[in-house]
Amino acid sequence: MTTNFVDKSKQKPLVEIQSIPCRVDHTGPAEVSQYFHRETLSNGHEKATFRGRPLDGHAVFAPDGYKLYLLKEKRIAVDGSNKTFEVHASTDKLTVWNLDKEPSERDPIRRAMNWVQIAQALADD
């Protein structure tokens, strides 16, 4: 299988990337500010509501030397042997939201970022 990446991120404005624990039956841009209200707390975490549901959030940063990319699958070959993804945005952080649960080091996305650092340390040995 071949995977191709087409970088269109330089043509797009910077965006905030949010990971929200829900399924939204919509693909594409949205007027998020109409439904998503957040505030930053003194400890750096965030509180928000999305359609009336309480959310607790925290920023997760890419490890040094890495970037996070927002990808969109463009096309798939009929035989499934070729996939193309467009890079729509890049950033060094995203905000991860939990449904009525304080952020912690055990959150899956934060743990994934730790694995990148562990793998890099092992590769450097």
| Backbone φ, ψ for residue 109 (5° rounding) | -70, -40
User: Any residues with CB less than 8 A from the CB of 87 and at least 6 apart, and which?
Assistant: 5, 6, 7, 8, 9, 69, 70, 71
Q: What is the CATH number of the domain that holds 18?
A: 2.40.128.680
Is residue 60 within 8 A of residue 110, CB to CB? The reply is yes
pTM > 0.75: no
List the end-to-end C-alpha distance of the chain, in Å, as a whole number.
31
pLDDT band at 1 (very low <50, low <70, confident <90, very high): low
Domain count, the chain: 1
pLDDT per residue over 2-30, tens digit each?
666 677 656 566 678 888 888 878 877 77
More confident call, 16 vs 45: 45
* Structural domain range at position 58: 2-124
Task: Report pLDDT for 14.
Answer: 64
* Residue 122, both tokens: 């092992």
Report the DSSP pairing between strands 46-50 and 36-40: antiparallel
Task: Report pLDDT for 47.
Answer: 93
pLDDT per residue over 64-115, tens digit each?
888 888 888 876 667 767 788 888 888 888 899 999 788 888 888 888 888 8
pLDDT band at 40 (very low <50, low <70, confident <90, very high): very high
